[in-house]
Chain A
Amino acid sequence: MEAVDAFSRALGLSPDGSVPPTYAAVYALGTTAPQLFSDPLAEVDLGRLLHASQEFEWSRHPTIGERVEARARVASDITRRGARFISLETEVRGAERNDPVCVSRALFVIRGSDA
């Protein structure tokens, strides 16, 4: 509750008991992307990491206090003109009913050292 309210306030919203749609940044991306970025095998330099594009598709929006489960996969990882592009797809389901909540498609770019 406090976490969602703080998120709402950071977007300039008055907390109203609902979960702002882009709180998916926390329950879809925040649960999965750091695991990838902190994995030494992925060789991601945080300082060179930028978010290039983002899509969320919701089957429904979660409610405050609800537990959800997120599962992500690297859909692609390519290097083009010195920059590396990583596409991360995350599927979020309700923990209680295992029903679909949200699909997140993130594209990250890791700039080359001269970019």
Chain B
Amino acid sequence: MKELTVTFSRAQIEAYARASGDLNPIHLDDAFARRVGLPGVIAHGMLQMGLAARVVGGGARLRRLSVRFAAMVQPGDTITFSAASEGERIPIGAHNQSGQPVLTKAEAEIAPEPGRA
């Protein structure tokens, strides 16, 4: 089992916003986020998915990645991503510091290594 533990920060969310072009203020502006009924700024789902892809690995052999965004992630939350280190269909886990899943129905498919098909 491979694991990756990340404590989300405003700086990382802002860097992801700039790098991805998703500058929705719900990720950047606390006052705006609260005004629309959120607890404060939240991380991009795609940032979580990017970290999930990191723990899966597989490089160019990654064929499919799917996730359901099940809970909001805020700055200061610590998320542990996990994935089986072998196999072609790989379930992915992602839980916050309270043990609550933030990604569900998360799965990757990896093409077999050349010569092992």
Contact = CB atoms under 8 A, between A and B. Distances in A.
Interface of A: 3, 6-7, 9-13, 18, 20-22, 25-26, 29-30, 46-58, 60-61, 111, 115
Interface residues of B, number: 36
A21 B53 contact: yes
Contacts of B62: 21, 58, 61
Contacts of B67: 53-55
A111 B36 CA distance: 10
Contacts of A22: 46, 49-50, 53, 65
B18 A6 contact: yes
**Which of B16, B36, B49 has most chain A Cβ within 10 Å?**
B49
B24 A25 contact: no
B54 A25 contact: no
B46 A51 contact: yes
A86 to B, nearest CB: 15
B47 A11 contact: yes
A58 B20 contact: no
Contacts of A115: 37
Interface in B48-68: 49-51, 53-54, 59-60, 62-68
Contacts of B63: 57-58
Given A12-B12, A52-B69, A111-B37, 7 more contacts: A18-B59, A22-B50, A22-B65, A47-B32, A54-B45, A54-B46, A57-B64
27 contacts: A6-B19, A7-B20, A10-B16, A10-B20, A11-B16, A11-B51, A12-B6, A12-B12, A12-B54, A20-B54, A21-B62, A22-B65, A26-B21, A30-B22, A48-B36, A48-B37, A49-B24, A51-B45, A51-B69, A52-B68, A53-B66, A53-B67, A54-B67, A55-B64, A55-B67, A58-B62, A60-B60
